[in-house]
Structure 1
Amino acid sequence: MQVFETQTMEEMFEGLKISPAYKKYSEHNPVMIQRYGADPYALVYEGRVYLYMTGDDPVFDEKGDAKENTYSNINTINVVSSEDLVNWTDHGTIYAASVTGAAKWGANSWAPAAAYKNIDGKDKFFLYFANNGNGIAVLTADSPVGPFTDPINGPLISRETPNCAEVTWLFDPAVLMDDDGNAYLYVGGGVPSPEKASNPGTARVVKLGEDMISLDGDPLPIENVAYLFEDSGINKIGDKYYYSYCSNFSMTPEAEKERGFEQGEIITLVSDSPMGPFEHFSPVLKNPEVFFGLGGNNHHCMFEFKDQWYITYHSRILEKEKGYLGGYRSTNIDVLEIKDNAPAVSKGTKTGVKQVSYLNPYDEVSAVTMSNSSGIDTVQYGEEAIKCGSGDMVVTGISDGSWISVTGADFGNSDPFEISLKYKSRGTGAVRVSLDSPEGDVLAYIPIEDTDNEIEDTFVALEKRPGGVHDIFFTFVGKDYDLITWRFIK
């Protein structure tokens, strides 16, 4: 156990200015603060929800003002996961496209969709994404966080694919794993011309091959998708199939009244078959502008987790809080109401969803598992993650007053007496561990020494022994050190 003077640690934090929070401590949206993530898609696997997101990356001019997001520089996919929908583990940034990515033939990686399938006795993971508006790529991995590789070294769907050359925007994939083991891919969007705005005819569906990286037949049009804009979604609820999409921005007030939905809203269609025919069903989520005052494209994914349905979507609330507007999106999750075994309605909120299980503070917790943070960054850790972009991550970019937190840690009736912090350092500093806020009851002060970037696992006695359920905050002074894991010891 390391010995230090408590008073010295306390003095290091006196008068410390806490880095501002971009969401309230009680808010769960957006799910990720340390970077942007758009077009979210959810994969549920072994008791965790994995979110895959377009890697929005702000570009600034010489004055430091954010340029408008053109999406042209996006070639990565962010991935995070959670078992409680509140504390999210950062798994990094998948290098998906361009010369630095897995799909070197493609320029961009937009709007990912993910699935897994047991093939030859082993679970395999598949990540589909759009090469801008001109085709669909597929990557594979043995883990939901990668490393991902390109198994076909080219597009799965391109403009040479039958029935796809005329699709205005050949993008925004969604994938359905049906109960019988068959899989289907849904793509498309865009309005070919103003006179076709009410029925663009640009949605497609195709059955995937058994290997999930080939097509079993030609893509077919999905008929009568009223005022289609983009953003395919697909879900099976009960014995019905629900195709969902974002309506376009050519709707007149008269059309909105006639059709019963608004422009930029998420709409569902229903069918008895995964390939249709589909019929109009119901709107489920209005444009984020309705809830947050800033709009844009509306991109979603509906998913079920622990017997509750949710909808994940993006908004612009993070960039608004940061004080610049360039169309950079961040991911939210809210409850999706189900009525009569069908998707009904959802409401966008900053509060987000309730925590579905408590975090165990006696497990070794990755430091990049966070419900909130400010003034920090995360970076790949280890040869594999550095090469591929996703995998193990550490908290870095630490400075005076920066912090991270987890929500709902259950100490139970145990009597923890120590905390272990695993870190590596090129500088010095300290970490204050507190309950429920950065200035809350202090559990421990942990000194950070220069380890020449070697890993140090330090153990510090607790000043206060917590019980029950609490949020835990880690507040930092100093710089040039990275946090790897932490755990309480009882």
Structure 2
Amino acid sequence: MRNLMILIATTMLVLSCKNSNKKKEEDSSHYSSENAVYIPNVFPEEGLTDPHVLIDNNRLYLFCGHDESWNTEEDWRMNRWEIRSSDNLIDWRKEGEILPTQTYIGDKPNCWAGDITKRDNKYYWYFSNRNHSTGVMVADSPVGPWSDPLGKPLLPAGIVGKTHPYDPAIFEENGKYTIFFGAGKYYAATLAENMISLDSDPKLIKVLGKNGKEMGTQDKSTVFKRNNIYYLVWGPKYAMSKNLYGPYEFQGAFLKGGHNDVFQWKGQWYAFIENKDISLFYRGVSLKSIHFNEDGTIRIPKDDKGYPSKGRQWDFKHSTMGWRSKQGTTLKWDKSGCIKGDIKGEAIIEGAVWTSANLSQADSIIVKFKNLSSATKGRISIASHTLGNRFWKHPEIDWDKELKIEFDIKPNNSELQVLRFKISDFGKVEESLKRLRIDPALGVTSGKWEVHYISVE
């Protein structure tokens, strides 16, 4: 009997270890643990980005910049900041807006990234005036009303030489508030007790590479602390230090995406992360959980990906967002999940520019549509580009030189037609999708068309 009990106990221990190892493997290969929340795109088609978190009275307040239009072609135009709140990370309500006209910015679409914090029952919103300067607003509530007590920048241009003083991040420890800012190189300074002035001169924050040499960063830093380790994050990379002012040692990859903010919610670490919801200039926010290795480094899931990943899909569940009529047709949304139009000439529709689809990992295009015209042919044109420094400054396209896919379609057919094309069968493209154009009914000047789905995959 005693031997049987030992055998049972040993068996249970082995099974327990196997299950434990399996759980560890699952945790290391997926976004979230059993109880964590994962949302690839929190606010679809709303243009909210640059997320910044404040947790107050068991409610999470999320401050985001708003991209002005999906149809922007060559700049980041951000016309306001929006405040959302939630008590479960899933259900959200809009709490209000902050307009640039409420600040020294004036009537300009310069509402770039910021950060929110609280001190002595006052709330402070530190914001970027584009990449020119950083200002501060104050309120008695996280939802406002907000006022600009300085009427001028807290961090004016030139305060730290060549580095642009924007994209602030606030870190609080033991009642001391520190503001980080800059791009390429970060600086940090102590905020005075009134929170609208500095109590120290800005100090350079050094980030050292694996070779011990100082390295550059990007814009929008995020700073947090866990187990006596300070973390400095910029986009998809991060560094660690035992000292708030560094030097920080570069570690490698952070979770994929753009600007982010790291926080704890009910014992779980999370990051809100900028994504490319519609395009480079009309973005969104993803929510991912963060997990750590025993040495404090961040464990990156094997399936971690940005949004969207490996291509681009349009299913038209919400609106016409991301597509416009270029000529010869109307374009409107149908709640059944499609875009459609009346042909009034040589019909051409096209998607947003800079859609951030990786064509080096995509080899096919799928289109589901209805042709309610006498046309027997349609055409897809693919404008592509190679990523490089300030590539977005060149939105112009010579469509005569871009890849074209001409195809046969059934005329006057109310049935949904599904066509799939392998891109390489028609020619070569560069590494990234610049813009997609569709001629839904070649050679006719009347009739109707519907597009239900487009995928580059």
If the TM-score is normalised by the length of the shorter chain, which range does it land in? Answer: 0.5 to 0.7
| 1:238 correspondence with 2:238 | no
Runs of 5+ unmatched residues, structure 2 = 1-36, 209-214, 309-316, 321-332, 338-457
| 1:205 correspondence with 2:194 | no
Q: Which residue of 1 aligns with 2:113?
A: 111
| 1:166 correspondence with 2:168 | no
Residue identity in the other structure for 1:176: F
Q: Is the 8 A contact 2:222 2:232 kept in 1?
A: yes
| Among candidates 254, 261, 266, match of residue 306 of structure 1 | 266
Residue identity in the other structure for 2:119: K
Partner of 2:234: helix, strand, or coil? strand
Residue identity in the other structure for 1:40: P
TM-score between the two structures when normalised by the length of structure 1: 0.51
Partner of 2:73: helix, strand, or coil? coil
Runs of 5+ unmatched residues, structure 1 = 1-25, 60-65, 191-201, 247-265, 289-297, 320-324, 352-372, 377-398, 404-490
Deviation at 1:159, TM superposition (A): 2.3
Q: Which residue of 1 aligns with 2:292?
A: 338
Q: Deviations over 1:331-363 (max 9, x none)?
A: 111111122373514534779xxxxxxxxxxxx
Q: Deviations over 1:193-235 (max 9, x none)?
A: xxxxxxxxx2111111112111111111111352312121100
Deviation at 1:49, TM superposition (A): 1.7
Q: Which residue of 1 aligns with 2:42?
A: 31
| Among candidates 122, 128, 131, match of residue 130 of structure 1 | 128
Q: Which residue of 1 aligns with 2:211?
A: none
* Structure 1: distance between partners of 2:243 and 2:199: 16
| 1:67 correspondence with 2:72 | yes
Distance 1:106 1:243, change over 3 A: farther
* Structure 1: distance between partners of 2:38 and 2:253: 26
Higher radius of gyration, 1 or 2:
2
Q: Is the 8 A contact 1:183 1:207 kept in 2?
A: yes
Partner of 2:93: helix, strand, or coil? strand
Q: Which residue of 2 aligns with 1:187?
A: 181
Aligned pairs for 1:2-81 within 5 A: 28-33=39-44, 35-58=46-69, 66-68=71-73, 70-71=75-76, 73-81=77-85
Partner of 1:155: helix, strand, or coil? coil
* Structure 2: distance between partners of 1:304 and 1:402: 39
Aligned pairs for 1:61-460 within 5 A: 66-68=71-73, 70-71=75-76, 73-95=77-99, 97=100, 100-104=101-105, 107=108, 108-118=110-120, 123-161=121-159, 164-167=160-163, 169-178=164-173, 180-190=174-184, 202-224=185-207, 226-246=215-235, 266-286=236-256, 288=257, 298-316=258-276, 318-319=277-278, 325=279, 327-340=281-294, 342=296, 344-346=298-300, 347-348=304-305, 374=318
Aligned-CA RMSD value: 2.9
Deviation at 1:41, TM superposition (A): 1.4
Q: Deviations over 1:438-458 (max 9, x none)?
A: xxxxxxxxxxxxxxxxxxxxx
Residue identity in the other structure for 1:239: N
Distance 1:115 1:27, change over 3 A: closer
What is the identity percentage for the equivalent residue pairs of Structure 1 and Structure 2? 27
* Structure 2: distance between partners of 1:278 and 1:350: 28
Partner of 1:285: helix, strand, or coil? coil
Deviation at 1:84, TM superposition (A): 0.7
Mean CA deviation greater in 336-345 or 82-91: 336-345
Deviation at 1:106, TM superposition (A): 8.3
Q: Higher RCO, 1 or 2 (CA under 8 Å, sep at least 6)?
A: 1
Q: Which residue of 2 aligns with 1:485?
A: none
Residue identity in the other structure for 1:58: S
* Structure 2: distance between partners of 1:91 and 1:402: 30
Partner of 2:156: helix, strand, or coil? coil
* Structure 1: distance between partners of 2:193 and 2:307: 41
Q: Is the 8 A contact 1:41 1:114 kept in 2?
A: yes
Q: Is the 8 A contact 2:38 2:289 kept in 1?
A: no
Deviation at 1:56, TM superposition (A): 0.6
Q: Deviations over 1:307-340 (max 9, x none)?
A: 0001111111x32xxxxx4531101111111223
* Structure 2: distance between partners of 1:301 and 1:343: 17
* Structure 2: distance between partners of 1:344 and 1:402: 43
Relative to total residues, which structure has the larger strand share, 1 or 2? Answer: 2
Q: Is the 8 A contact 2:105 2:129 kept in 1?
A: no
Aligned length: 272
* Structure 1: distance between partners of 2:98 and 2:74: 20
